[in-house]
């Protein structure tokens, strides 16, 4: 009985595989319609993926420090700065421009603008009025002792018990205290330094003729749409202040972490697009150089495109967004996911030399599905090892990469045969002749010649290279190559 069960299960597997192959070879358009429908649905989901570039999106969610930071962020509003920088040739004109601009910026008001800081005038007035509250502790203690002495003297004088007629504590009045504080402030030189740094209270560099106005906003650096709206409002306020009337040579620009965060976001998006595009182009170029058949490149492009679309559609359902680590996965998923199509196509073309298209599909299915599925499972396990970590940069990378391998394998064996059959109906494959037949596999011949003529030398070189690489890798890791300065991993531009 036990020997019959495997044979029955094997028979069912073969029957199921034959039905699938029959559908793919006899009704390829139906299969491709299913593919198109699934791609449309997955593409719709994938289009909803957002890109979150903040460092916090990579950190583990269950760590106490991250939990506390999230709680603080929920209770405290974000604070970003948008800096208006004006350059000209007339310092007085720059000051007049700031005086005209500040009221226009304040008109924008909440929730976009929290405060406008055109200089240290208000801060200086605030601390000047309350300067006695910031007196040094030693000085406060001295005054306290003097007050006690004077108090005891006055009480003793009233009671007629003061015995030392030659000593009288100095009188303490508001005027004398103010005079003392002002004299000590002059001796410290702090006030002179403040006036030297900001002589008129403006954020002005008189030598370079540059002045700045700081706009504080509760808009976080990740709120790109609101950041763009605020930027437009600030530029409109600048136009209303008419900078050219105050100084014809004046040039006004914007800076600050609010804009730099948006610029970094756009640069990362641009990098993702370039990496994805050129990664796919290079991968397909290698495939073309091997097969020298455009239909082969087209078939595998469609197949791996289906798998990649499924992958990122599922990523939206499982995660909901991409981060600065997973954003680059498109070219990685395509680069690894196309391997199953390469193996399938190689066996199909080999069988196609002697068999019809339908039989070649059957042979390619039967002889490659299990090895490629094993490879896909191994790749998924490798990515899956990252998914068990708490660090979300690795965790999400492992989830998307692991599911991508299985989905690309599934797309290959579900739709590549149907695509090949459609191509065969329009233009059956013919044996290669001429220059294409001579070039096919040309780059592999030198390696085959070396392996055949000098097998021992090849093994020896490979052994030395492996040992040397291991030693170099060990020394590199032992030197702690981890970069801890976040500024060094930022955008170079």
In a domain, 68, yes or no: no
* Summary mean pLDDT of the chain: 83
Please report whether residue 384 resides in a domain.
Answer: yes
**Most confident region among 122-131, 161-170, 453-462 by mean pLDDT:** 453-462
Check whether residue 41 and residue 96 sit in a common domain. Answer: no
Question: Considering the domain boundaries, does residue 267 fall inside one?
Answer: no
Q: Do 55 and 115 fall within a single domain?
A: no
Q: Please name which of 328, 334, 327 lies closest in space to residue 282, comparing C-alpha atoms.
A: 334
- Over 90: is that where the pLDDT of 467 sits? yes
Please check whether residues 200 and 345 belong to one and the same domain.
no
**Residue 166 sits in the same domain as residue 204:** yes
Arithmetic mean of pLDDT, 273-290: 83
Segment among 106-110, 163-167, 286-290, 411-415 with least mean pLDDT: 163-167
Closest to 108 measured CA to CA, from 116, 100, 96: 116
Strand-strand pairing, 321-323 and 50-52: parallel
Same domain, 104 and 239: yes
pLDDT for 71-122, tens place per residue? 766 665 557 888 999 999 988 999 999 999 999 999 998 888 888 888 887 7
Tell whether the model's pLDDT for residue 373 goes beyond 90.
yes
Give the closest residue to 131 by CA, choosing from 191, 45, 68. 191
Q: Is residue 457 part of a domain?
A: no
Query: Dihedral of CA 21/27/30/36: which sign?
Result: positive
Helix (H, G, I), strand (E, B) or coil at 202: strand
The answer to whether residue 473 is domain-embedded is: no
Assess if residue 179 is contained within a domain. yes
Asked whether residue 117 is domain-assigned, the answer is yes
Q: What is the pTM of this model?
A: 0.68
Rounded Cα distance, 79 and 259, in Å: 13
Residues 51 and 178 occupy one common structural domain: no
Q: What is the CATH number of the domain that holds 305?
A: 1.20.1640.10
Confidence of residue 319 (pLDDT cuts 50, 70, 90): very high
Quick: pLDDT tens for 23-49.
888 899 999 999 999 999 999 999 999
The number of folded domains in the chain is: 2
**Could you tell me which residue, 201 or 3, shows the higher pLDDT?**
201
Which pLDDT score is estimated for 1?
Answer: 45
Residues 174 and 318 in one domain: no
Domain span at residue 185?
78-258
CA distances to 120, 280, 297, 488 from 305, rounded to whole Å, are 58, 10, 12, 35
Instruction: Please check whether residue 333 is in contact with residue 408, taking contact to mean a CB–CB distance below 8 angstroms.
Output: yes
Give yes or no: residues 105 and 153 share one domain.
yes
């Amino acid at each position: 009985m036990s020997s019959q069960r495997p044979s029955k299960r094997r028979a069912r597997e073969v029957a199921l595989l034959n039905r699938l192959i029959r559908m793919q070879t006899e009704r390829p358009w139906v299969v491709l319609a299913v593919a198109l429908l699934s791609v449309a649905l997955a593409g719709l989901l994938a289009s909803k993926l957002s890109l979150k570039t903040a460092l916090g999106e990579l950190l583990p969610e269950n760590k106490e420090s991250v939990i506390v930071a999230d709680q603080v962020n929920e209770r405290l509003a974000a604070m970003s700065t948008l800096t208006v920088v004006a350059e000209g040739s007339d310092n007085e004109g720059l000051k007049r421009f700031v005086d005209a601009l500040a009221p226009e910026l304040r008109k924008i008001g909440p929730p976009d603008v929290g405060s406008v800081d055109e200089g240290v005038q208000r801060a200086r007035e605030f601390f000047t009025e309350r300067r006695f509250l910031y007196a040094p502790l030693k000085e406060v203690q001295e005054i306290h002792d003097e007050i006690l002495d004077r108090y005891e003297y006055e009480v003793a004088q009233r009671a007629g018990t003061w015995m030392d007629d030659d000593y009288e504590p100095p009188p303490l009045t508001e005027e004398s205290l103010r005079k003392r504080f002002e004299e000590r402030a002059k001796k410290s030189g702090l006030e002179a330094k403040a006036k030297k740094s900001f002589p008129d209270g403006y954020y002005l560099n008189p030598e370079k003729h540059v002045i700045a106005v700081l706009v504080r906003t509760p808009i976080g650096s990740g709120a790109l749409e609101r950041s763009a709206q605020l930027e437009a409002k600030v530029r409109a306020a600048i136009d209303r202040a008419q900078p050219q009337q105050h100084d014809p040579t004046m040039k006004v620009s914007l800076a600050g972490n609010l804009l730099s965060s948006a610029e970094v976001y756009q640069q990362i998006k641009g990098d993702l697009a370039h990496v994805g595009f050129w990664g796919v182009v290079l991968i397909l170029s290698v495939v073309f150089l091997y097969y020298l058949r455009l239909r082969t490149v087209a078939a595998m492009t469609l197949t791996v495109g289906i798998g990649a679309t499924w992958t990122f559609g599922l990523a939206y359902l499982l995660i909901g967004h991409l981060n600065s680590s997973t954003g680059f996965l498109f070219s990685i998923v395509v680069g690894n996911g196309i391997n199953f199509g390469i193996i399938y196509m190689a066996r199909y073309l080999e069988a196609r030399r002697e068999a019809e298209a339908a039989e070649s599909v059957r042979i390619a299915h039967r002889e490659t599905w299990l090895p490629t599925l094993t490879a896909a499972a191994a790749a998924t396990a490798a990515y899956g090892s990252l998914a068990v970590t708490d660090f979300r940069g690795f965790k999400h990378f492992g989830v998307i990469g692991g599911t991508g391998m299985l989905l690309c394998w599934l797309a290959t064996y579900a739709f590549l045969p149907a695509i090949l059959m459609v191509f065969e109906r329009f233009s059956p494959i013919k044996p290669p002749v001429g220059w294409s037949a001579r070039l096919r596999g040309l780059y592999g011949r030198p390696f085959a010649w070396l392996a055949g003529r000098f097998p021992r030398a090849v093994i020896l070189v490979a052994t030395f290279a492996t040992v040397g690489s291991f030693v170099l890798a060990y020394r590199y890791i032992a030197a702690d190559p981890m970069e801890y300065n976040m500024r060094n991993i930022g955008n170079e531009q």
